[in-house]
Amino acid sequence: MSFFSELKRRNVFRVGMAYAVTSWLLLQLADVVLGNIGSPEWLFKAILLVLGLGFPVALLFAWAFEMTPEGIKKEKDVDRTQSITPRTGKKLEHFTIGVLSLVVVFFLVKEFLLTETATVPGESSQSGQPLPASIAVLPFEDFSQDADQAYFSRGIAEEILNLLAKTHGLRVAARTSSFAFATGDHDIREIGEKLDVETVLEGSIRKAGNMIRITAQLINIEDGYHLWSETYDRDFDDIFKIQDEIAASILASLKVHLLGDQEHQVAAERANDLDAYSDYLIGKERLALATRKDIEAARAKFEQSIGIDPEYAPARVALAQAMLLLELREFGKLDKQEVDAVVEPQLAKALELSPDLPEALAVRGLYHLQRYRYDEAQNDLNRAIHLSPNYAMAYLWRSETYYEKEQYLNMLADKEKAYSLDPMSLDISSQLAYDYGAFWRPRDADRIIARMFELHPGHPRAYRALGANLSAHGRYAETALLLEEAKAEYPEHPEFALWHAWTLFTMGLYEEAEAQNLDKITMWVLMAEDRFEEARELLQKNLDEDPDDFWLESARVYHQLMRDEFGIEPWKAAVARNLAWLDEQNVPWRERCYPYLIYDMRETGIEDGVAEMMAECRTRTEERLKAGFLCPCSFYDLVLFASLDGRTDDAVGRAAEWLDGGDSFAWLNADPILAEWSDRPEYEEVLVRNAEQVARQQQLYYAGVTARDSGLEGSLP
C-alpha cells in the first residue's frame, strides 16, 4: 500500500481538513469577540500561534493513533480486520460539513447583524475596501461674497471634529495639527503623511443673506478619490443641525458609531443664540494663537458669549481655560485668587449643564493639576479621555499626573499618544522631545525638534525645545549661541534673555553674564567673584522694589558662601519666608525632592518637613533609575541627594557619571552640598574634570561666536 493511500486510510486528510476549518472559524469568532472587548493585540496572536502549532500535532496524532470501540489506541496495536477508520472518516466528514455550515451562518450574522447599514448620500466607498480608521478635519474654506465668515467656517469644521473625536475606534487628528493646513496649497498626500491619517474631510461654506451652503468631501489619502460628498443648503438658523448631519454622514460612511445616546449629549453643548456661538468661535480662534494679547481677547469674547447665552457650557469651559493660561508666567501670571474666582464657578456651572462634556472634565483636571491635586486631576482626565478618546491635550495633562506619581513610563506613553493625535502641537512636541532626551533617545528628540522648526520656522517654543535639550545634556555653548539667535528674533521675550545670561554664568563667562544687566544673574556673578557686600545690597534693593519676584532668590543667595560674611540669621529668615510662601500657594513641598531646600533647612535648624522630603528623594531616585528617566543634568541631582543622605561613595560615583555625560558647572567648587565630602581625594578629581569641561564649553562658545560673525555658522568644532 502506498504512503498516500495509508494517509487516506488513517483519516489524516480528514483530520487536517476538520482541524483547519474549525481553527478558521475559531479565529473569526476570536477576532470579533476580542475586538469588541478591547483585548490586547497579543492575545489574538497567541491564539493564532497555538492553533498553528496544533495543526502538525493533530496530523501526527491521526497518523499514530486510532479510534476503536475500546478507546484510543496506537495504530500499530490495532488489528486491521477490526479497524473502524471508515466509520470514523464518515463522522469526520459530517463534522466538517457541520462546521462549514456554521461558517456560512457566521458570515450572514456578521454581514447583516453585526455591520450597521446606512444609506449615504452622494458618493460612497467601494464595497470590499478596508474601512479607514483615521481622519483629519481641515478648516472649511470661506467662499462667501464678502469673505467675512472665516472664523465661522473654521468653527463648523471644529464642531464636526469634536463630534468625531468622541468616537471610539476612530483616530481623529487634533485641531492644532489639522488646522495648520488652513493656508497654502497643500497636497492631500502630504497632509495624510504629516498627520498620519487615512482620510481627510475638507469643505467650504458660502453665505448669502440668511442662506448658507455647506459642501463637505471625505477623501481617501492613498488615491485622492472621494469616498463621500454632500452639499447642504439651509437657513443659517439651522447651522447646528447641519453640523450633526455632516458628522453622522461621515460616521455612516466609515461604518463607525457614536457611543451611547449622542443626541442627548450634543444638545447639552449647543448654544441657543447664534451671536453667542459666533463670539465663542472668535474666542476659540484667538485662544489658539497662544499669546497674552490673544488670550485676553479670547477671554473677553467668552464672557460676551456667556452674557448672551448663560446656558452655553462650552463658552464657560473656554473662559476657565483662558484664565488658567493667563495664570502662567508666560502669559501674564494672574493672581491665583483672581483665577479661582472665575474658574471654579464657570466649571461648576458647565458641568451642571453638561455633566459628560469632555472639555469641562479635562479643563477641571488641568485646574486640579495647577493646584497640585493630582488624584483629582487624574480622575477627571481619565473620564474625559474615556468620553473623547481623541482628546490630545487631555493625554498631555494626564501625563503630568503620572510624572508626579513617579510613573514615568506611563507619562511617556501619554505624551506619545498625544503626539500621535496632534503632531503639530508645539506644547506636546516640546515636552515629548525633552522626555525623549531624558530617556536617552536623542535621535527621537532631534527628529521631533527638527519637525518643530520645519512646521513652525523660528517659533519661540521651537527655540525653547531645542535649548532645553541642549542644556539638559551639558551642551551650554550651543545653548548660548541658540539663545542669542532667539533673542535677536524675539528681543522682547524675557525668558530668552534670562536663560541666556544664566547659561553664560554656567560656563564661567562672568563678565559676559554681568554685561546682560539682569540683576538675578548679576547677584550670582558678584558672589562668584567674592563681592558679597555688593551682592547683598543688590538683593536688598530688589527685595524692596519687587519682593514677589526676588525674595525667592534670597535663600539661595544667602546659603552660597554668605553665611560666614553675615551670619546665619538672614539665611534662616529667608528660608522661613520661602516655606511660608510655599504653604500660602498650597505647594506640597514636603512631597517634593528639593536638595537645596533640604540643605538650607538643616543648616538653619528648621527640621519640620526634612524627613518627608528625604523620603520623597529616595522614592524618586529609585523610580527614575528603574525607568531610565535620567538626562545628564539629572545625575547631578543624584549627586546632591546621595551627599545629603550620607552615601558619600555613591555621591562620588554619581559625580563621575554626571561628568561622563558631558555636563559641567563653572561654580561647582562653591556648591555647599558637594563640599560635604571635600575631604575625599575624589573631590579634587571631580573639580579638575569639571574645570576641563567648562573650559571646553568656553572654547566651543568663542569658536561659535567667531564662526557666526565671520559668516561660517554651522562649523562648531
Q: Give pLDDT tens digits for 520-535.
A: 899 889 888 888 888 8
325 pairs with which residues across the strands? none
Distance CA 579, CA 498 (A): 25
- Same domain for 183 and 70: no
Residue 355: partners with Cβ closer than 8 Å, 6 or more residues away: none
Q: Which residue has the higher pLDDT, 538 or 15?
A: 538
- Same domain for 101 and 7: yes
> pLDDT band at residue 208, thresholds of 50, 70 and 90?
confident
What is the structure's pLDDT at 56?
Answer: 79
Q: Are 384 and 390 in contact (CB under 8 A)?
A: no
pLDDT at residue 144 is higher than 50: yes
Q: Is residue 93 part of a domain?
A: yes
Rounded to 5 degrees, what angle do the CA atoms 500, 419, 314 make?
100
What is the structure's pLDDT at 691?
Answer: 96
- Same domain for 207 and 147: yes
> pLDDT band at residue 123, thresholds of 50, 70 and 90?
very low
- Residue 226 belongs to domain spanning: 134-259
Q: Which residue has the higher pLDDT, 388 or 77?
A: 388
pLDDT at residue 348 is higher than 60: yes
CATH code of the domain covering residue 235: 3.40.50.10070
What is the structure's pLDDT at 67?
Answer: 66
Report the 10 Å Cβ neighbour count for 34: 15
DSSP secondary structure, 572-624, as one string? HHHHHHHHHHHHHTT--GGGS--HHHHHHHHHHT--TTHHHHHHHHHHHHHHH
- Same domain for 184 and 81: no
> pLDDT band at residue 266, thresholds of 50, 70 and 90?
very low
Distance CA 163, CA 508 (A): 55
What is the structure's pLDDT at 162?
Answer: 78
Q: Is residue 470 part of a domain?
A: no
Q: Is residue 458 part of a domain?
A: no
- Same domain for 68 and 12: yes
125-139, 521-535, 696-710, range with the lowest pLDDT? 125-139
* Amino acid code (one letter) for 233: D
51-65, 568-582, 650-664: range with highest mean pLDDT: 650-664
Q: What is the mean pLDDT of residues 502-519?
A: 95
**To the nearest whole percent, how much of the chain has pLDDT over 90?**
36
Cell digits for 208?
448669502
Q: Is residue 571 part of a domain?
A: no
243, 259, 275: which is the final residue of a domain? Answer: 259
> pLDDT band at residue 129, thresholds of 50, 70 and 90?
very low
Q: Is residue 49 part of a domain?
A: yes
- Same domain for 142 and 109: no
Q: Is residue 180 part of a domain?
A: yes
pLDDT at residue 680 is higher than 70: yes
What is the structure's pLDDT at 168?
Answer: 73
Q: Is residue 684 part of a domain?
A: no
Rounded to 5 degrees, what angle do the CA atoms 509, 515, 521 make?
70
67, 84, 114: which is the final residue of a domain? Answer: 114
* Amino acid code (one letter) for 214: I
**For the chain, how many helices (H) and strands (E)?**
33, 8
Distance CA 22, CA 19 (A): 5
Residue 51 Cα to chain centre, angstroms: 39
What is the structure's pLDDT at 520?
Answer: 86
50, 85, 114: which is the final residue of a domain? Answer: 114
204 pairs with which residues across the strands? 141, 215
- Same domain for 204 and 148: yes
- Same domain for 147 and 76: no
Q: Tell me which long-range contacts 502-507 makes (C-beta under 8 A, separation of at least 24).
A: 503/471, 503/476, 503/479, 504/480, 505/666, 505/667, 506/476, 506/664, 506/665, 506/666, 507/476, 507/477, 507/480, 507/666, 507/694, 507/697, 507/698, 507/701
- Same domain for 247 and 204: yes
- Same domain for 197 and 100: no
Distance CA 442, CA 456 (A): 21
193-202, 377-386, 466-475, 664-673, range with the lowest pLDDT? 193-202
- Same domain for 235 and 140: yes
Chain segment 358-376, per-residue pLDDT in tens: 999 999 999 999 999 999 9
Question: What average pLDDT is seen over the chain?
Answer: 81
61-75, 93-107, 674-688: range with highest mean pLDDT: 674-688
Q: Are 179 and 161 in contact (CB under 8 A)?
A: no
- Same domain for 9 and 89: yes
What is the structure's pLDDT at 78?
Answer: 62
What is the structure's pLDDT at 482?
Answer: 96
Q: Is residue 636 part of a domain?
A: no
What is the structure's pLDDT at 409?
Answer: 93
Domain count, the chain: 2
